[in-house]
Structure formats: structure tokens, C-alpha cells
Amino acid sequence: MTKHDVLILGGGLIGQTMALALDRHGLRSVVVDPVDPETTLTTDFDGRVTAISSSSWKLFDALGLGPLMRGQACPIARIEVRDGAAGAPLDFQSDDDDDALGLMLENRVLRRALWLLIQQAPHVTRRYGHQAVTLDRGPNGVTAQLDDGEVLSAPLVLVCEGRHSTTRAAAGIPVAAWDYASMSIVTAMDHSLPHGGTAHQIFYPGGPVALLPMNPGTRSALVWSLPEADAKAMAKLGERAFLAEVDRATGGLLGDMRLVAPRAVYPLQFRHTAKMTDHRLALVGDAGHGIHPIAGQGFNLGLRDVAALTEVLVEGARLGLDLGDAQLLARYQRWRSADVMAVTLACDTLVRLFGIKGRVARAVRRLGLGAVQRAKPLKDLFMSEARGESGALPVMLTGVTV
């Protein structure tokens, strides 16, 4: 039997970042995933571009990921939000040129950087291409048997299996779950008008359209959420017809466009767990909270889980505590629950608010956007949320290790 400090189930973006964060503090983990991350490095596997908040980027810097990726990320200098393409924009702009609101990063770039660093991490054991067939959480520790017969043990299991986590279900953790009956079409375009570092979010009752700046300055990612049937039909349109629809929905913001990536379609679901911990178990990332991508917050929320849990476990280890200790897990639960609840509900409320059809609803929304545009304290509050700088920040979100 091989003993580790932590057993991590799920080696996606969050599971690997978690392993790396623990490694940087000398804690030994074993990562189990039926999929080998090396097979996930192409745009065919994941063509998404993720908005990384500036505090999340500081975590990347603390882990050594930041320098590997910075040149490939595109800073967001300004965000414009509209109710329909004709609505007046509510804009958020950083006062300081060096202080971007966040960075747009291709998932494939992040996956490659994680893969590189995990291979060199001395305290991470990889068990890719395998899954746990049994998991026993006993009074003194956790034991898992893999499908090849290997037995792993640790004081604590971290569940990073994404929103459809089977370990979470087996642990009986209650989940509030629903489907939005919507899908996001994701792709990227080159265009004739420069984006100038501006991200656009345009709301329609059927769902928001986001244009997200990429490098070079005439390339943007598109995340277009639509009712399921419309999304499927739109994904099948020929390139010219599809781009004509994008041009109409975005009010011609980008000029002439051409697709530079295949179109991928993602179903949109809501998952909120009643708790993020159980006996010798913690949920991290989408396994603990699956939210609508309306505000580009899901992965950032997961990174805040990683930073908080790393801090709790590293401090516990320094005090010589059992890493599965109920008090440590209670601290993680307390630290993360308010932020997770606030972001989850805010995103769900936005989806519903902008989903209400009709002229009156639209007029009220435009009034609300206009009021925020004129109220500096409110705008500052939204900007600090976008940067991920509100609430009690774990130290790794300031760019240093614990």
C-alpha cells in the first residue's frame, strides 16, 4: 500500500492545480484520473478561452505557472455590458494601465503549462488512465483501490471530479441541480476592427453573447449561450451564415470576421452542494459548485477553493495535525461557503434577470445598468469582484506561497 498526504480524484484543471499547490509546500499527493491530461492539450479537446481574474493570476505566479503563460494571455483593459446590441454600455475600466481587470487565457495553454510542471513536481504521483473502484473513508484514513489493483492511502481525499462527480454522489452529499435548457457555442474569430482589450457581454432573453479579447489584437473568442435547439441549429450553420448571425447579435462590433477555431457546444447546468466537506473528504472546483458561465467565474471560484484549502492543509501539517481532521475541514467549509454561495446565486440571478422577455423588463434592466454606470462605488465593487479581490483572501491569491 502506497501512503500519501492527500488522495486527489480528478486531474482536470482544478485537480492538477491543487496537486501543484500542495507540491510547492512539500505535501505529497497522488492524482487519479481515467483520462490522461496529455490527451487534453489540443483545441479539439478544449477550445475554450477562460477569463482569469487578476487574483487568480497571482496564484499562478505563486505556483510558477504565471511566467510560462503570461506572454500568451491577453489583458482585459475594459468590460462593456449591454442589454441587447442597441443598449447603452455599462463599462468597467481599470484606472491604472498596469492593472488589467483580468486576462484571457486559452485553456489549452493552461493545460500544457500544468502538464509540464506536474511532470517535474517531486511530490506528485500520477495515476492517469485509472480510476478508483473502491473508496473507504475509515476512522483513521482513506483507502482507495484502483482498477489495476493498486491500493492507495491518505488521511484525506480531495474530490476534483467536475460537476458530475460520482464520489460526491456516493458520499451522499445533497446537490441542488437543474439544467438551464441552454447551451454555449464556443469558437474564435479573426476580425477587421481591433478589440482594444475590450471584453463585451451583450444580454438577450435567450442568453448572453460574450466577445473576449485574445492575442493578437484582431482575434476574439465567442461564448454565445442560447436555448438548446437554437444552439444546435446555429452550430450547424455554414460559416458565412453563422458569422452573419454573430454580426447581428453583436451589432457589428468587430467588423468583418472569419472563424479560426471549430465550434464546440457545452450544455449549461447549475449544481450547488449543501456542503463542501464530509468525513475525510473535501470537494474542490466544479465538484463543489457548477455555475453558468455568464460572468466567467467558475474556474476562478475553483482556484479560490485551491488557495484556501492549500493554506488550511499547509498550516495543519505545520502544526502536526491529521490532514483529515474535522476541524481543518470545518475551516475550509467556513472559508469557502459564503463566497461560493454569493457567486453561484449572483450568476443564477443574472441569467434569470436577463432572461425575462418584454419591453418593460428591458426598460427596467437598462435603467439599472444606467444607474450602476453613474454610481462609482457600485462600479468599484463590481470591479473588485471581477478581479477576485473581495472577501478574506487566501495568501496565495496575493502571489506568494503560504
Please name the helix (run of DSSP H) or strand (run of DSSP E) that holds residue 179, with its range, or none.
Answer: strand 175-191
388 binds ligand FAD (CB under 6 A): no
The site map against ligand FAD for 280-319 (x = CB under 6 A) is: -----xx------x--xxxxx-x-----------------
Q: Considering beta carbons, is residue 35 or 260 the nearer one to ligand FAD?
A: 35
10 binds ligand FAD (CB under 6 A): yes
CA trace torsion 193, 196, 197, 201 (10° rounding): -60
- 48, 123, 127, 336: residue in contact with ligand FAD (rule CB under 6 A): 48
Bridge partner list, 29? 6, 124
- 19, 32, 211, 253: residue in contact with ligand FAD (rule CB under 6 A): 32
DSSP label at residue 70: G
55 binds ligand FAD (CB under 6 A): no
- In the block, residue with C-alpha cell 484606472: 95
81 binds ligand FAD (CB under 6 A): no
Cα Dmax for the chain: 65
* Closest C-alpha to 3, from 162, 177, 143: 143
106 binds ligand FAD (CB under 6 A): no
Q: Considering beta carbons, is residue 180 or 335 the nearer one to ligand FAD?
A: 180
- 93, 125, 166, 373: residue in contact with ligand FAD (rule CB under 6 A): 166
- 35, 41, 260, 346: residue in contact with ligand FAD (rule CB under 6 A): 35
Q: Which of residues 223-242 bind ligand FAD (CB under 6 A)?
A: 223
50 binds ligand FAD (CB under 6 A): yes
Which of these ranges, 6-14, 336-344, 359-367, 393-401, lies near ligand FAD under the rule CB under 6 A?
Answer: 6-14
- 5, 7, 12, 81: residue in contact with ligand FAD (rule CB under 6 A): 12
- 124, 160, 249, 323: residue in contact with ligand FAD (rule CB under 6 A): 160
47 binds ligand FAD (CB under 6 A): no
Q: Considering beta carbons, is residue 131 or 198 the nearer one to ligand FAD?
A: 131
Q: Considering beta carbons, is residue 10 or 316 the nearer one to ligand FAD?
A: 10
Nearest distance in Å: CB 210, ligand FAD: 8
Q: Report the alpha-carbon distance of residue 304 to residue 262 in Å, rounded.
A: 31
Q: Considering beta carbons, is residue 40 or 250 the nearer one to ligand FAD?
A: 40
Q: Considering beta carbons, is residue 127 or 331 the nearer one to ligand FAD?
A: 127
Q: Considering beta carbons, is residue 25 or 304 the nearer one to ligand FAD?
A: 304
Q: Which of residues 130-159 bind ligand FAD (CB under 6 A)?
A: 131
Q: Considering beta carbons, is residue 199 or 328 the nearer one to ligand FAD?
A: 199
Nearest distance in Å: CB 50, ligand FAD: 4
Q: Report the alpha-carbon distance of residue 73 to residue 123 in Å, rounded.
A: 28
- 13, 121, 306, 343: residue in contact with ligand FAD (rule CB under 6 A): 13
Q: How many residues bind ligand FAD (CB under 6 A)?
A: 33
Q: Report the alpha-carbon distance of residue 137 to residue 313 in Å, rounded.
A: 18
Rounded to whole angstroms, what are the CA distances from 209 to 83, 149, 293, 373?
10, 48, 11, 20
Q: Is the dihedral of CA 343, 347, 352, 356 positive or negative?
A: positive
Which of these ranges, 32-40, 65-73, 138-146, 273-281, lies near ligand FAD under the rule CB under 6 A?
Answer: 32-40
Q: Report the alpha-carbon distance of residue 298 to residue 13 in Å, rounded.
A: 12
For the chain, the C-alpha Rg in angstroms (whole number) is 21
Long-range residue pairs from 381-387, CB within 8 A, at least 24 positions apart, any chain: 382/92, 383/92, 383/94, 383/101, 386/53, 386/79, 386/92, 386/101, 386/102, 387/53, 387/54, 387/55, 387/101, 387/102
Rounded to whole angstroms, what are the CA distances from 47 to 103, 161, 264, 368?
16, 20, 7, 34
Count the residues in the chain. 402
- 22, 27, 51, 243: residue in contact with ligand FAD (rule CB under 6 A): 51
Cβ neighbors of 3 (< 8 A, separation 6 or more) are: 153, 154
Rounded to whole angstroms, what are the CA distances from 294 to 18, 209, 216?
25, 9, 24
Q: What burial class does residue 89 get, using C-beta atoms within 10 Å of its C-beta: 0-12 exposed, 13-18 middle, 19+ buried?
A: middle
Which chain residues interact with ligand FAD by CB under 6 A?
9-15, 32-35, 48, 50-51, 131, 160-162, 166-167, 184, 186, 223, 266, 285-286, 293, 296-300, 302
